[in-house]
Amino acid sequence: MTTTEGNLVVEENSRPARGVLVGRVLIVLAVGAALLLLGRQAGGYVPRFAAWVQSLGAWGPVVFIAGYVIATVAFIPGSVLTLAAGAIFGLVRGVIYVFVAAVLGSSAAFLVSRYIARGAIEKRLAGNERFEAIDRAVGEQGRRIVFLLRLSPVFPFNLLNYGLGMTKVRFVDYLAASVGMLPGTLLYVYYGKLAGDVAALAGQGKIEKGAGYYAVLLLGLAATVVVTTIVTRTARRALQEATSKSP
């Protein structure tokens, strides 16, 4: 995947790849802080959106999942939808729906990349040394590398789905490694649940939950951030070791 302009292409493509790793952690923390600070101003939005989806009854989750899949294939960041899932469905159902939607969406993007849009995707990733190292590592340790990438993404989620379609990883291993998305999904859905409740405080409805309920939520959020950070750092180190050993 080298070209006569290799140095320029590598520089242009590797900078965002390196920045994403640190940027993702900072963005996740910033989103959580912003949701807490802006909860009152956004008070009317999340409840109305939640009411609309819930008014669809059994079709609510179906519509949500379908929209998430379309967003994933269309390169639209799903972080806002993941946050909304926490506010609409709660923690458990939100994680389930987002995970199902993310697996379906990422699988669709993978298959499109591998069988339909291979030429365009190959051109977009040409000269990216980081991707070439991952491609070699995936050829040797497919499921493990994809799992680590899901835990600690080197590429943005949507781009990674298409990029992995260009590698030698088997589709069954790609699917199995999807469990690596769960820590990040849990964190974002938890943020969304917390934001939904904070937004409700800004509304006119009567809130029956006391301060203790929100104290537990905040403690749980802090614990989730700590655990996710530890898992992410461990995965990043393991991924760096695996790619550096590839010839």
Number of domains in the chain: 1
Indicate whether 231 pLDDT > 60.
no
- Residue 63 domain-assigned (yes or no): yes
- Residue 127 domain-assigned (yes or no): yes
- Residue 45 domain-assigned (yes or no): yes
Q: Determine the Cα–Cα distance for residues 244 and 240; give it in Å rounded to an integer.
A: 6
Which of 38-42, 191-195, 232-236 ranks highest by mean pLDDT?
Answer: 191-195
Three-class SS state of 205? coil
In this prediction, residue 206 carries a pLDDT of: 46
Task: Give residue 128's domain range.
Answer: 6-245
- Residue 91 domain-assigned (yes or no): yes
- Residue 231 domain-assigned (yes or no): yes
Q: Determine the Cα–Cα distance for residues 108 and 119; give it in Å rounded to an integer.
A: 17
Give the list of residues 6+ apart from residue 200 with CB closer than 8 angstroms, or none. 43, 46, 47, 207
Indicate whether 101 pLDDT > 90.
yes
Question: pLDDT tens for residues 145-199?
Answer: 788 778 765 567 888 888 888 777 889 989 998 998 888 888 888 888 887 765 5
- Residue 131 domain-assigned (yes or no): yes
In this prediction, residue 207 carries a pLDDT of: 43
Structure tokens at 224: 């989730």
Question: pLDDT tens for residues 58-88?
Answer: 899 998 898 889 888 887 777 778 888 888 8
Helix/strand/coil (H/E/C) assignment for every residue in 23-58: HHHHHHHHHHHHHHHCCCCCCCHHHHHHHHHHCCCC
- Residue 1 domain-assigned (yes or no): no
- Residue 117 domain-assigned (yes or no): yes
Give the list of residues 6+ apart from residue 190 with CB closer than 8 angstroms, or none. 86, 91, 220, 221, 224
To the question of pTM greater than 0.75 for the whole model, the response is no
Measured in degrees and rounded to the nearest 5, phi and psi for residue 225 equal -60, -45
